Amino acid sequence: MSTTFIGQPVSRVDGRQKVTGRATYAAEFQTANLAHAAVVRSTIARGRIASIETAVARRSAGVISVLTHRDAPRLPYRPHKGAVDPAVGERLHLLQDDRVNHQGQPIALVVAQTLEQAQHAAALVRVTYAVETAVTDISRTEPVLPTQEKADQGAGVPPETQRGDPDRAFAAAPVKVDHSYVIPRENHNPLEMHATIAAWEGDRLTLWDKTQWVSNVAEEIAAVFGIASQNVRVVSPFVGGAFGSALRAWPHVTLAALGARVTGRPVKLMLSRREMYYGVGYRPHTVQRVALGASRDGQLQAILHDGYQETSSYEEYSEALLNATRFLHSCANVTTRHRIARLNVHTPTYMRAPGEVSGTFALECAMDELSVALGMDPVALRLGNEPERDESKNQPFSSRATREAYRLAAERFGWSRRNPASRSMRDGRWLIGWGMATATYPMNFAPASARARLLPDGTAEVSSASSDMGPGTWTSMTQVAAETLGLPIERVKFMLGDTRLPKAPVHGGSMTMASVGSAVQAACRKVRQDALARTNVADITEAMRRLERSIEATEEVHPDKQNEGYSKHAFGAVFVEVAVDPDLGETRVRRIVGAYGAGRVVNPKLARSQCIGGMIGGIGMALMEHAVVDARNGRVPNANFAEYAVPVHADTPAAMDVIFVPEEDTRINPLGVKGLGEIAMVGVAPAILNAIYHATGKRIRELPATPDKLIRQA
Amino acid sequence: MTTLKINGQSRTTSAAEQTPLLWVLRDELGMTGTKFGCGMALCGACTVHVDGQPTRSCITPAASVAGRSVHTIEHMETDPVGRVVQQAWVELNVAQCGYCQAGQIMAATALLKTAARPNDRQIDEAMSGNICRCGTYPRIRAAMQLASRRLAGAKA
């Protein structure tokens, strides 16, 4: 009987539930006496509510309550900032005053017997505004320095950094490229809309919520309502995709709880697809400039990377846009300057590889432009500038697999057959192009705890308040637990998604296996030791049989100080083949190969799925996705699946290949895991755009690379 | 009151005639396997079978299917094609977040009931209306090919 599971392609434990419709998502929990809510949203971006008339709505069939700032209870809104909330600024206080801060801001809440009745009544609320001039045009907004000290989550990077003398080195460099790159706003658009069911019992609140972080929701809602966080239970076993959209506790959670409080009934509030573009955050629009200077033999002499992104007027969202530039390629003279543009929009948020995916897009496209200017192969250019250490912190990397990633991916791809000249490859009438890019994402490890319980019937229950939005946490944690306990996997049950379970960090930042996995391992190790010691036998199954009652251990893990002097990141490389229709400008991605050095891979099957998913997400980013923002008023006119295009079945490349570079890193966390969920998307969009250049000779620097951009340059 | 035939059973609904079938299923009958993804027939998460045809329940008025035979994901375990499709899905670990998969399976099952060994182009055409944001498309295709081979084998 094998008990080796870590590193094995174990099948998903929740597979059958998900194919039979038995997996329960937030809006699907059955509660007696449930009422339904709908939100009235502002149709201006900035100003005050001059009048709000609800009498007609109140009289509408089935309506139980209509709340506005005029009559909603005053909420304490105690200060609270979780790690995912912007450090500077204050969340909106819903229905507490007459101010309007963004298009689509909740300004009234309707609760009714049915969803249709609530939606109908919401449309009957009449509002007039005192409109103030809004700033919603990013092209006309002066970017400013962020005020927060930490420009990104946890890395403590100041908004402006410099080493060497980049301006002088750039001026003196014999070969230069200097261009602007634009990425429009993008939306996560998970298939499951965000939803919350709220039910009070006295001053105890239960929330069935769609969240990547149950404990943060409890703390945030407790703070809003001025109650103890122990009085809030949050349940979220299945999350229908999130990609970062469910890290924060958004306004609808507060509104559901408020509606339930006022009506005395459990209330369900579900966002519509259109509301997903206003009611949760998004990847902000970014404008970047990258200037690279090199010697004629391809040594980087200077890197100047500036960038700014949109944020709201009430919170200062800032992401790690320029962090990777400081260590990805070797260069003595580097400057990065990060700015924000304050608009009357709602606050952006983290979306799969926030900052990294956008910043490396600009950097890796610029590197490709430099390789063309040098007449040099793009892989050779990168190999010739491979750093021996993290030059921004003057620290060794804990491990870095870029050389191996380039080699393995290039080999698998057949890169050596590439004709470097653009427009040199064809397939019938299609122009073929090959492009590549480097990928990176930080290794994150946060404090986490887990509990392991052994039962006399020979089964084990292991738990942590983590989430599973698709990566396979249910399964991978079961593997870690089973192997550590020395039990067959069928006898181990893992539980997550409930604040009653031991505290876990946010299911984001690709940190869950590193953090929760290490906690699971520690708890299982401890309880196994206890069981063997108590019963004085060598076999765990025998020990469990002899236990009179169940025993358990709860363990907490923390990053240790010992390896603080190392720079810890996952690295990879992405190679892409595209076909471009020379007349219609349509781009099809035919092949992708990605190679990643991400430390230990706990479940290769699940890990590969993550990488495939990230590649498909990258195709969307490169070729399709674009939240159009009306510069006059902040409205998103394409807030639906017809006009905000996302990859569909027919967009899948015929060949998608994922290689995990064998890598053992003992300096990062007890499991030796770097995380994959986000690096999976990094490097894909620039590789595609670089391939488009190779195919057509046309360089596109503004996403998405839609057909009109390729036709227009003819 | 409208009487509907769902998964072979008679169910009555007091919902208004224009209420989409999706909400009758989810809110009134507690059958939450069929999902809400857009409400505009653009994502496929709400796919059910009406007289065997894949149908978007989010825009189908409940009253319009009175007297017709409606099948949902909850029925697929006992459907001769549906259960083969589900088994292939489980074996190939198709699902990630799982939210779109009921709709994917309903669309796939409907195709495999009419096309014995669909080629890639037929699969693309039948399935491109079912969006998966997690990007499980390659495994969906592989699972459909596996299911179709098994179904063909069973008939042989």
Which one, of A479, A503, A507, A504, lies nearest residue A493 by Cα?
A479
Beta carbons of A609 and B132 less than 8 Å apart:
no
What are the pLDDT digits (tens) for A361-407? 999 999 999 999 999 999 999 999 999 999 999 999 999 999 999 99
Out of A16, A21, A191, the one facing B133 most closely (by C-beta) is A191
**Cα distances (angstroms) measured from residue A277 to each of A179, A226, A282, A360, B75:** 30, 29, 8, 25, 34
Cβ <8 Å between B136 and A609: yes
Among chain A residues, CA nearest to B38:
A273
Q: How many residue pairs bridge chain A and chain B with CB atoms within 8 Å of each other?
A: 171
Contact call for A239 and B89, based on CB within 8 A: no
Are the Cβ atoms of A19 and B93 closer than 8 angstroms?
Answer: no
pLDDT bracket for residue A27 (50, 70, 90):
very high
Confidence category of residue A95, pLDDT binned at 50, 70, 90: very high
Instruction: Single out the catalytic residue among A132, A542, A678, A702.
Output: A678
- Interface with B, mutate which of A119, A191, A351 (most B CBs under 10 A): A191
Query: Phi/psi class of residue A619: alpha, beta or left (left: φ > 0; alpha: ψ in -120 to 50)?
Result: alpha
pLDDT tens digits along A532-556 = 999 999 999 999 999 989 999 999 9
CA distance readout (Å), B11 to A408, B79, B128: 59, 20, 32
**Is the pLDDT assigned to residue A712 strictly greater than 70?**
no
Q: Do A191 and B33 touch (CB under 8 A)?
A: no
Q: Is A298 left (phi over 0), alpha (psi -120 to 50) or beta?
A: left
Average pLDDT, chain A: 95
What is the Cα–Cα distance from A392 to A166, expressed in whole angstroms?
A: 14
Using alpha carbons, select from A6, A643, A678, A530 the residue that is nearest to residue A274: A643
Burial of residue A349, with CB atoms counted within 10 A of its CB: 0-12 exposed, 13-18 middle, 19 or more buried:
buried
Q: How confident is the model at residue A148 (pLDDT cuts 50, 70, 90)?
A: low
In A384-517, which residue ranges form alpha helices assigned H by DSSP?
Answer: 402-413, 473-485, 512
Q: pTM of this prediction?
A: 0.97
Contact predicate A697/A422, CB 8 Å: yes
* DSSP state at residue A326: G
**Chain A within 8 Å of B95 (Cβ-Cβ)?**
yes
Residue B148 contacts A where some CB pair is shorter than 8 Å: no
A615: chain B residues, CB-CB within 8 Å = 135
User: Among all residues of chain A, which has the CA nearest to that of B124?
Assistant: A650
Q: Which residue from B27, B40, B72 is facing A640, i.e. has the nearest CB?
A: B40
Contact flag B43-A469 (C-beta cutoff 8 Å): no
Cβ-Cβ contacts under 8 Å, B136 against chain A: 609, 612-613
Are A192 and B35 a contacting pair at CB < 8 A? yes
Based on its alpha-carbon atoms, the radius of gyration of chain B, rounded to whole angstroms, reads 15
Q: ∠ CA(A499), CA(B45), CA(B122), 5° rounding?
A: 140
From residue B145, alpha-carbon distances to A35, B92, B149 in Å are: 44, 11, 6
A490-512: average pLDDT: 95
The predicted structure's pLDDT at residue B42? 97
Does the annotation count A678 as an active-site position?
yes
Question: What confidence tier does A157 reach under pLDDT thresholds 50, 70, 90?
Answer: confident
Q: How far is A17 from chain B (nearest CA, A)?
A: 9
- Phi, psi for A619 (deg, rounded to 5): -65, -40
β-bridge pairing A47-53 and A126-131: antiparallel
3-state secondary structure of A692: helix
Is B100 at the interface with chain A, CB within 8 A? Answer: yes
**With an 8 Å Cβ cutoff, are B101 and A272 in contact?**
no
**Token pair 């998502």 in the structure block, residue:** A25
pLDDT digits (tens, 9 = 90+) for A426-483: 999 999 999 999 999 999 999 999 999 999 999 999 999 999 999 999 899 999 999 9
Q: What is the CA radius of gyration of chain A?
A: 26
Per-residue pLDDT tens over the stretch A307-339: 999 999 999 998 999 999 999 999 999 999 999
Enumerate the residues of chain A whose CB falls inside 8 A of the CB of residue B38: 273, 640-641
User: Of A116, A617, A646, which has the smallest distance from its Cβ to B131's Cβ?
Assistant: A646
3-state secondary structure of A159: coil
Q: What is the pLDDT of residues A676-693, one digit of tens each?
A: 999 999 999 999 999 999
**A517 — phi, psi (to 5°)?**
-60, -45
A116–B16 C-beta distance less than 8 A: yes
**pLDDT over threshold 80, residue B156:** no
Whether residue B99 and residue A24 make contact (CB cut-off 8 A), yes or no, is no
Confidence band for A3, pLDDT divided at 50, 70 and 90? confident
What is d(CA A376, CA A369) in angstroms, rounded to the nearest whole number? 10
Query: Nearest by CB to B97, which of A470, A606, A649?
Result: A470
B16 Cβ under 8 Å from any chain A Cβ: yes
Please spell the DSSP secondary structure of A197-246, one letter per residue: EEEEETTEEEEEE--S-HHHHHHHHHHHHT--GGGEEEE-S--S--TTTT
Give chain A's count of helices (H) and strands (E).
16, 24
pLDDT in tens, A48-94: 999 999 999 999 999 999 999 999 999 999 999 999 999 999 999 99
Q: Average the pLDDT over each of A143-152, A641-650, B21-30 and give the range with the smallest value.
A: A143-152
Per-residue confidence (pLDDT) for residue A437, from 0 to 100: 98
Cβ-nearest to B128 among A36, A617, A649 = A649
**What CA–CA distance (Å, rounded) separates A353 from A675?**
12
Given this model, what pLDDT does residue A644 score? 98
Residues 31-70 in B contacting A (C-alpha not used; CB under 8 Å):
31-40, 42-43, 45
Return the percentage of chain A with pLDDT > 70, whole number. 98
* CB of B122 less than 8 A from some CB of A: no
Angle subtended at Cα A148 by Cα A142 and Cα A153, rounded to the nearest 5 degrees: 110
- DSSP per residue over chain B, as a string? -EEEEETTEEEEE-S-TTSBHHHIIIIIS--TTS--S-SSSSS-TTEEEETTEEEEGGGSBGGGGTTSEEE-GGGGGGSTTHHHHHHHHHHTT--SS-TTHHHHHHHHHHHHHH-SS--HHHHHHHHTTS--TT--HHHHHHHHHHHHHHHHHHH-
Quote the DSSP letter at residue A168: H
Partners of residue B19 in chain A, C-beta under 8 Å: 116
